[in-house]
């Protein structure tokens, strides 16, 4: 019997990692699956990711998504609640969701406003964006090109706990 899978996506600095970890802690048997772990495993030949992707970078991203889906299914099949967190935007979101056919999946898109993304990006110890213009470009892809499936949570003014509460309340019995 498969356990539930949550797919949490959104822009860099949307709070995916923090929220996913907090959500995973709420289940007795859970896994926080970080999709970017598969990218970091590439020792040589890793392509840079950014707003514009090379063909090799697209292939690596597709591989990362495929490996993440396989891992999530494996953990779910073993009875774990899986919180799979990654940046999956544009048409890729619907493509990744389709790979979970037959599994109890809840899709959550964290979508704090652009100002919140900018502030969080400035406050964290790593830089995911080149500048504020790039944040706006990614924001446009999220809002205009990403399928509006699952639960979209504007976490701009929510704490981590409040965001996790909202995710659980809005996804009860809602496998996407």
pLDDT digits (tens, 9 = 90+) for 34-90: 999 888 877 776 766 766 778 888 899 899 999 999 999 999 999 999 999 999 999
Domain for residue 141, yes or no?
A: yes
Place of tokens 């699956």: 33
Half-sphere exposure of 24 (CA within 13 A, CB side): 19
Domain for residue 144, yes or no?
A: yes
Average pLDDT of 119-131? 74
- Looking up residue 148, the CATH number of its domain turns out to be 3.40.50.300
Domain with 141 in it: 5-171
pLDDT at residue 50, rounded to an integer: 66
The chain-wide mean pLDDT, for the chain, equals 88
Q: In total, how many domains does the chain have?
A: 1
Q: Which has the higher per-residue pLDDT, 73 or 13? A: 73
| Share above pLDDT 90 across residues of the chain, in percent, rounded to a whole number | 62
Domain for residue 75, yes or no?
A: yes
Average pLDDT of 109-129? 81
69 vs 33: CA distance, rounded Å: 10
Quote the pTM value. Answer: 0.89
Q: Cα-flanking dihedrals φ and ψ of residue 110, to 5°?
A: -80, 125
Do the beta carbons of residue 24 and residue 85 sit within 8 Å?
Answer: no
Domain for residue 134, yes or no?
A: yes
Domain for residue 176, yes or no?
A: no
pLDDT at residue 86, rounded to an integer: 96
- In 3D space, the residue among 114, 18, 99, 103 whose CA is nearest the CA of residue 62 turns out to be 99
């Amino acid at each position: 019997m498969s356990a539930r899978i949550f797919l949490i996506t959104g822009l860099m600095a949307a709070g995916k990692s923090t929220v996913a970890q907090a959500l995973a802690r709420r289940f007795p048997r859970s896994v926080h699956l970080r999709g970017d772990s598969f990218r970091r495993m590439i020792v040589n030949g890793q392509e840079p990711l950014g707003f514009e992707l090379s063909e090799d970078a697209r292939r690596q991203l597709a591989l990362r998504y495929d490996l993440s889906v396989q891992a999530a299914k494996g953990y779910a099949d073993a009875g774990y609640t899986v919180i799979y967190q990654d940046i999956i935007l544009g048409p890729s979101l619907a493509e990744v969701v389709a790979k979970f056919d037959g599994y109890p999946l809840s899709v959550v898109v964290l979508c704090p406003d652009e100002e919140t993304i900018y502030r969080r990006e400035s406050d964290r110890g790593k830089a995911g964006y080149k500048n504020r213009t790039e944040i706006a470009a990614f924001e446009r892809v999220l809002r205009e090109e990403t399928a509006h499936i699952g639960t979209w949570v504007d976490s701009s003014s929510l704490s981590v706990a409040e965001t996790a509460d909202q995710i659980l309340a809005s996804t009860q019995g809602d496998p996407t």
